[in-house]
Amino acid sequence: MIESTLFSGVLPPVLTPFDADLAPDAARFVGHCRWLLEQGATGLAPFGTTGEGNSLSVDERLRLLEAAVSGGIDAALMIPGTGCTALSDSVRLTRGAVETGCGGVLMLPPFYYKGVSDDALFRSFAEVIEQIGDARLKIYLYHIPPQAQIGFSLALIERLLKAYPDTVVGLKDSSGDWSNTKAIIDAFPGFATFSGSEIFLLDNLRSGGVGCITASGNVNVAAIRALCEHWQDDSADERQASITKTREAIQAYPMIPALKTIISKHREDAAWTRTRPPLLDLPEETAQALLADLRSQNFAIAG
């Protein structure tokens, strides 16, 4: 039997702000975490794709975790991204998250070497789990083949669940393929399966999934949370159509700089537009087009 998990609903993969020297801006990061929780986030997933996690060092991520906790963010509400290409980095970062009190971690597979087998991926996760050796560790697998190009087959998920039923507790499916998400939900009842986009949220919840970990939760978390709470109501399809429309408007642009542009406009804070190379900030003309598209559908960030 798979244990129930704390996390469900909408967990934004928290954007990482940078200062003028392109160092992580801890004060803005903590402020954004606090605002997301106030707006209805049921948890936080820092250092994922949207948070430019793979552009951050292990030390930078650990310092931001410490800053969040020192700034009053409950560590139990966080599932930071800790999957790295180097085993030692994954172990150190995951151990740090556990010792900080995080409710779980969101783990990419080691993604540099392509074409690796399920046996190889199982070994990688087994090493992390065994080296940490802490019953508090809860792993949410991060399946994102469009970026990583390797991921989690049903057979691999089943093997990990049999070997570590109290540790491997959920998965974020960012494949963009609803049929894959549905197959995971159907194959593993009780396994906490999140969609990687709110476009699939209502289908996810109706099929037995637990919610979404979605980039646009950084700017539209209140509306997404409302669907999580009212997915069995008559209003559910209308709510889904509305959040899908907003998501599609944003993802028509480079997602991470687009989200930072929206936050920058909302807070009247130009520093929020900064991305870390190799990403580029949105050109002003593109930024204005994005904002015009959102105004045309009467979208405005709550709060």
Mean pLDDT for 292-296 is: 95
Main-chain dihedrals φ then ψ at residue 164, nearest 5 degrees: -135, 60
- How confident is the model at residue 301, as a pLDDT? 79
Residue 277: count of CB within 10 angstroms of its CB: 7
Q: Which residues pair with 44 in a beta bridge?
A: 78
CB 102 within 8 A of CB 79: yes
- pLDDT the model gives residue 231: 98
Q: Reduced to 3 DSSP states, what percent helix, strand and coil does the chain have, rounded to the nearest 5?
A: 50, 10, 40
- pLDDT at 1 (0 to 100): 27
| 151-161 confidence digits (pLDDT tens) | 999 999 999 99
For residue 258, what pLDDT is reported?
A: 98
Would you state the torsion angle of the CA atoms of residues 278, 281, 286, 288, taken in this order, to the nearest 10 degrees?
A: 160
Domains of the chain: 9-231 (3.20.20.70)
Q: Name the residue type at position 188.
A: F
Instruction: Give the separation between CA 130 and CA 297, rounded to whole angstroms.
Output: 50
- DSSP string for residues in 81-139: B---SSHHHHHHHHHHHHHHT-S-EEE----SS-S--HHHHHHHHHHHHHHH--TT--E
pLDDT tens digit sequence for 227-272: 999 999 999 999 999 999 999 999 999 999 999 999 999 999 999 9
pLDDT digits (tens, 9 = 90+) for 78-95: 999 999 999 999 999 999
- How big is the chain, counted in residues? 303
Tokens of 106: 């969101």
Q: Give the pLDDT confidence score for residue 303 in this predicted structure.
A: 61
- Regarding pTM above 0.85, the answer is yes
Q: Is the pLDDT of residue 2 over 50?
A: no
